[in-house]
Amino acid sequence: MTALTTALVTATPREKAGSRTGSRYAFQAHVSLAKMLELRKSGADFRAIFDHFDDLAILIPSNCPAQVEFFQIKGKQQGSWTAARLCKAEDEVPRTIVGKMYHHTQTFGPPVVGCVFLTNASFGFTLADGTKTGIDHTKILYGSLASEEKGRFAAALEVDFPSPRSPTEDEIFSFERTIVPITGYDLVLKGLLVDAVENKEGVVVAALYRTLIQDITSRANDTTVCTSLLDVFTHKSLGCEELDQILAAAEKRRGILDAWPTVDEELKDAGRTPMERIRGQTAVINYLRDRSTRKHEVEVLAAEVHSAFQQVSASVLSCDNLLTAADLVKTNLPTSLISRYEQLTIEAAILVELYESFNG
């Protein structure tokens, strides 16, 4: 075992008083997934550890890691992050946000290649050239900050980590903005997943999104006492190889168009003419296309269909065919929706969403 793999087993994980729930932890899960997709796109061989030593830790390489980067993930509704806010002392030791970032270097030693503050908000820092950071600064290296800003961080760290410090802040600190917003993060992640599967036809992005977020949340909430590296990998992490497998499985998963002959038989048995059945299939294709590009009116329709489905889910699950289930859902849609969309579009939405609910 390397020094890092030994520390992954022997280091004390952060304390947790129960499951991580609510919008704060949902945001954290979405930011973690976005970071994984970013790393995957770059071709990195990595493993992500969720809410164990920090909000997110990235190991490189994935199976016999030699380096680790830690991420403090914080959401902010308004305003920007300043050095004063990141250096504000609280009761818990380490007393500051930057202190909590830096303490990993003392626990894990030289394998730590970065301690990153990752947020949706901008930063209000002064740079060494006298300019101010703004919304266009998406990654700020500590070394690029003005001396007075560095002085604030150094003073805050001095309380818990007296100088001389090794490594220095210049070597490991950075500040980064994520494209994931504090609200509406689900839409952004679905968009990133569309890109990750390269817009392959038939991929059920909504189901893929749910699978990944549920998987990350489950691992973040796992309180298993890890006594081996295998425990850490199994219970708290997801590697790039496993991520690839999940994405590949999503590409192979059958969508409603793959099963269209069966659906078409139901439509024929219901008395639909050949032209009506062709128009119905075309409506499904158009709905899938518009949903994959996150067209607003289609996302609204999908949300309403899901809501209607929840109201009659028990009855729907007992139906012996898709059209009967679709009729049940349709009766629970708001009247305003019925008049707002074409009937074929509504039926297409119901058929697609029902099929995906039944088939994961």
Q: With b meaning 16 or more CB within 10 Å and e meaning fewer, what string describes 311-329? A: ebeeebeebeebbebbebb
Dihedrals phi, psi of 131, to nearest 5 degrees: -85, 165
First to last CA, the chain: 39
The domain spans of the chain are 3-250, 260-358
pTM above 0.85, yes or no: no
Residue pair 239/46 in contact by the 8 Å Cβ criterion: yes
Q: Which residue has the tokens 């909430």?
A: 221
Q: H or E stretch including 283?
A: helix 274-292
Token pair in block for residue 127: 């740079």
pLDDT tens sequence for the chain (360 residues): 678 989 999 998 876 655 555 677 899 999 999 999 999 999 999 999 999 999 999 999 998 999 999 999 999 999 999 999 999 998 888 999 999 999 999 999 999 999 999 999 999 999 999 999 988 999 999 999 999 999 999 999 999 999 999 999 999 999 999 999 998 999 999 999 988 887 666 577 877 888 899 889 888 988 889 999 999 999 899 999 999 988 887 776 667 887 888 889 989 999 999 999 999 998 988 888 787 667 888 888 988 998 888 888 888 788 888 888 888 889 889 888 878 889 999 999 999 888 887 765
* Distance of alpha carbon 25 from alpha carbon 83, whole angstroms: 24
Residue pair 355/329 in contact by the 8 Å Cβ criterion: no
